[in-house]
A and B are shown apart, each in its own frame.
Chain A
Amino acid sequence: MRLNLPKERIFFAKPPIWKRFLAFLIDLSIINLVVATPFRNILAQLVPQSQSYREAYNYIMLNPGVSYSLYVVTFLIAFLALIYFTILEWALGQTIGKKLLGLWVVQDLGDKSISKLTSPGFWQCLLRHLIIIPITPFLLLWIVDPIISVFSKKQQRLSEMISRTKVLAEYRG
């Protein structure tokens, strides 16, 4: 006998923090592999082999030219990472990390219910991740931004609040 069971139901809810964190780690690994790898050679030649991090740090601090070059490299890597997050979230609603963990970026329309899900616009996606760019006011936000999500009801980072977006987890049942 074949039962007439309801079709698979898809619903969205606030994701657990670990899922968001893991998705972010996956994205970072991808960026490291795809974007940062070509710059490795430059970094290796800018900062010579050293016995310890401390030695390398001292070398960088004593050589303003090296610090400047490192900053430019970091800036470019961050810029390409910004493109990665912005384009994928704008076009697909997900980065690869989010896709693997079933997370979606949606507009925060202010509704208490989450029945109405709308993909974010390009500028919203850009704004969500703009703090990646290593310039002074954003550097402070690198710490503040994720901490705020822990205390936020909708688990939003500060930049998500500003861009009016949020992340939801997809559940099937």
Chain B
Amino acid sequence: MKNEGQGKNWIFAIGVLVILALFSLFFALVLGSLFVPSEPLSLSGNVARIYVTGEILPDGSSSIFGSSGASSQDIVDLIKKADENKEIKALLIEINSPGGAAVASEDIVKAIKKSKKPSVALIKDTGASGAYWVASATDVIVADPISITGSIGVLSSYLEFSGLMNKYGVGYERIVGGEYKDIGTPFRNLTDEERQLLQEQIDVVYDYFVKEVAANRNMSEEQMKGIATGMIYTGIRAKQLGLVDVLGGEDEAEEAIKQKANLTDVQIVDYKKKRTLIDVLTETLSRQSYTVGQGIGDSLVSKADQNLGVRT
């Protein structure tokens, strides 16, 4: 035990405190120059930035492993919240998404259209399919020249492994009430009639999608159908085709907002789903295992082939 020399102990303790205070001052100076914004902050800016990042998923698709996509319900809630906030004068929808579930995409589209405030979409890397549908609902679409957009079309696919089952002598007993109850089952081939019926359903969704996007972009359906082949377009090509209004990034998006909302100064505030401490802890704890699982899953089968859901 070091209980002798009490005076020396105090001097040592004070010395440690002085050194810590110096370190603290040094770190504070360094961090101050790195983190403190040059412009004064306001608690709420005048433009709400809402992110659509990753696959667009319907409500409840986010799991305890955290959401790897854009939950339509969360985005709709944020749009409503921004719309109700009097301080917010415009919406900036920042998109980096390959699309996703058709109904989930449409929910976001409806929320944007319902909003009384001007809106601008900024397509970063990708804004394709359902995500483009979302962008088309805004007043102005700004896209990076080399971003990927378009892909206007509908997809419904699933894995069919009846051949594999046959190879291993596994049979499929079909007992249904309703002739088409097991349509799309992976255990048998589709009949020609079933394929035709499914194609009709897809065509309905496709026509609806094209009609909506055409209306949003002030184009005729015929004109849009010529573009809506499912093909992806770069931002440059999309501008030529009329799918995009302005080529550029954040600066151009801010300029578009200024013009649309008659603002002289744009202060963007990020609108994101609030995360509680439990959310943060759960996400961090589970992210690693989720990433490993996702990697294995993706290497086995693409998400598009996992079910018969209609995707845009």
Task: Name the segment of A1-9, A18-26, A43-51, A148-156 touching the other chain.
Answer: A43-51
- Interface pair A91/B12, CB less than 8 Å apart: yes
- Interface pair A48/B32, CB less than 8 Å apart: no
Q: Which B181-199 residues have a C-beta within 8 angstroms of A?
A: none
Residue of A nearest to B268 (CB): A63
Q: 8 A–B contact pairs at CB < 8 A?
A: A38-B28, A42-B32, A42-B35, A47-B41, A61-B272, A63-B270, A93-B3, A136-B285
Per-residue interface assignment for chain B, residues 40 to 62, with 1 indicating a CB less than 8 Å from any chain A CB and 0 otherwise: 11111000000000000000000
- Interface pair A39/B281, CB less than 8 Å apart: no
- Interface pair A62/B270, CB less than 8 Å apart: yes
Query: Number of A residues whose C-beta is below 8 Å from B?
Result: 48
Pick the residue among B13, B21, B28, B41 that contacts A92 (CB under 8 A): B13
Once bound together, how far apart are the Cα atoms of A77 and B27, in whole Å? 9
Residue of A nearest to B6 (CB): A99
Residue of A nearest to B16 (CB): A87
Once bound together, how far apart are the Cα atoms of A89 and B73, in whole Å? 52
Residue of B nearest to A57 (CB): B274
Indicate whether A30 sits within 8 Å of B24 (C-beta atoms), given known contacts A61-B272, A61-B274, A72-B35: no
Chain A contact residues, majority secondary structure:
helix
Given the complex, which residues of A lie within 8 Å of B28, measured CB to CB?
A: 38-39, 41-42
Task: Across the A-B interface, give the 3 residue pairs with the lowest CB-CB distance, nearest first.
Answer: A38-B28, A69-B35, A61-B274
Indicate whether A39 sits within 8 Å of B43 (C-beta atoms), given known contacts A62-B271, A72-B31: no
B219: Cβ under 8 A from any A Cβ:
no
Indicate whether A104 sits within 8 Å of B25 (C-beta atoms), given known contacts A46-B35, A136-B281: no
Given the complex, which residues of A lie within 8 Å of B1, measured CB to CB?
A: 93, 104, 106, 117-119
Once bound together, how far apart are the Cα atoms of A61 and B269, in whole Å? 11
Closest CB-CB distance, A93 to chain B, in whole Å? 5
Binding site for B on A (CB under 8 A): 30, 34-39, 41-42, 45-48, 50, 55-56, 58-59, 61-64, 69, 72-73, 76-77, 80, 83-84, 87-88, 91-96, 99, 104, 106, 117-119, 136, 139-140, 170
Pick the residue among B21, B36, B274 that contacts A35 (CB under 8 A): B21
B64: Cβ under 8 A from any A Cβ:
no
Given the complex, which residues of A lie within 8 Å of B3, measured CB to CB?
A: 93, 104, 170
Residue of A nearest to B284 (CB): A136
- Interface pair A76/B31, CB less than 8 Å apart: yes
B161: Cβ under 8 A from any A Cβ:
no
B20: Cβ under 8 A from any A Cβ:
yes
Query: Number of B residues whose C-beta is below 8 Å from A?
Result: 34
Known contacts A62-B274, A69-B35, A93-B3, then 17 further A-B pairs from the complex at CB < 8 Å, ordered by chain A residue: A30-B17, A34-B21, A38-B24, A39-B24, A39-B27, A45-B37, A46-B37, A58-B43, A63-B270, A64-B272, A73-B35, A80-B23, A83-B20, A84-B17, A117-B1, A136-B285, A140-B281
- Interface pair A92/B12, CB less than 8 Å apart: yes
B2: Cβ under 8 A from any A Cβ:
yes
Given the complex, which residues of B lie within 8 Å of A73, measured CB to CB?
A: 31, 35
Binding site for A on B (CB under 8 A): 1-3, 9, 12-13, 16-17, 20-21, 23-25, 27-28, 31-32, 35-37, 40-44, 269-272, 274-275, 281, 284-285
Indicate whether A35 sits within 8 Å of B13 (C-beta atoms), given known contacts A55-B43, A117-B1: no
Once bound together, how far apart are the Cα atoms of A96 and B6, in whole Å? 12
- Interface pair A64/B270, CB less than 8 Å apart: yes
Closest CB-CB distance, B33 to chain A, in whole Å? 10
Residue of A nearest to B29 (CB): A38
Once bound together, how far apart are the Cα atoms of A104 and B44, in whole Å? 50
Residue of A nearest to B282 (CB): A136
- Interface pair A92/B9, CB less than 8 Å apart: yes
Residue of A nearest to B42 (CB): A48
Once bound together, how far apart are the Cα atoms of A66 and B271, in whole Å? 13
Once bound together, how far apart are the Cα atoms of A119 and B2, in whole Å? 8
Closest CB-CB distance, B159 to chain A, in whole Å? 37
Once bound together, how far apart are the Cα atoms of A4 and B43, in whole Å? 74
Once bound together, how far apart are the Cα atoms of A16 and B274, in whole Å? 41
Closest CB-CB distance, B272 to chain A, in whole Å? 6
Given the complex, which residues of B lie within 8 Å of A119, measured CB to CB?
A: 1-2
Once bound together, how far apart are the Cα atoms of A41 and B33, in whole Å? 12
- Interface pair A42/B31, CB less than 8 Å apart: yes
- Interface pair B20/A80, CB less than 8 Å apart: yes
Given the complex, which residues of A lie within 8 Å of B27, measured CB to CB?
A: 38-39, 76, 80
